[in-house]
Amino acid sequence: MEHILKIIVAIIVGWVGYKWWQHKRYRREADKFKELLVADLPNYESPVTTLGAVVLSHFPQHNEAFKKFLIYVPKKKQQRLIQQWGKYNEIHALFNSAGVFGAVMAELPDPDFEPSQENVEAVSRKRKKQISKILGELIEKL
């Protein structure tokens, strides 16, 4: 009876240790991924860059890091993170689908839009805030 109790205790201690190690590894990887996103957020909020240029230049690195990070994410969280990432992926696809000219045209909301400097900047600021919000929500979910 004593040996069975020792085996059960060893199994429980091993399982708790494994779960603790798994969580610690996830937190370490989540912090690395979060640092990458937080470091690039100022580029999305900067008034001197265009949204298309920022998305096209940063998304590939973010996407690669997200794929590597997803390996460490617990199954319960994966679906929520993938769903949030999909919003960012859609914006990248919009800019990436039509090349350089399309990226510039995607900055404008519609063909009848008055392309004055103020209007273009207002739309760009709004979309930059949208991406900042998407990335901020993703960071919160980590």
DSSP string, 51-79: HHHHHHHHHHHHHHHHHHHHTTS-HHHHH
What pLDDT is attached to residue 33? Answer: 94
Cα three-residue angle 109-61-29, rounded to 5 degrees = 120
At residue 108, the pLDDT reads 53
Instruction: State how many domains the chain has.
Output: 1
Which residues lie below 8 Å from residue 36, measured CB to CB, with a gap of 6+? 61, 62, 65
For residue 75, give its domain range: 2-141
Q: What does each of the 142 residues of the chain score in pLDDT, given as a tens digit?
A: 788 998 998 999 999 999 999 999 999 999 999 999 999 888 887 777 777 778 888 999 999 999 999 999 998 899 999 999 999 999 888 888 766 555 455 555 555 556 666 776 777 778 888 888 888 888 888 8
Type of residue at 107: E
pTM: 0.75
According to the model, what pLDDT value does residue 11 have?
93
Sign, CA torsion 142/50/108/93: negative
| Tally of CB atoms within 10 A around 30 | 18
Query: Which residue is associated with the tokens 């040996």?
Result: 3
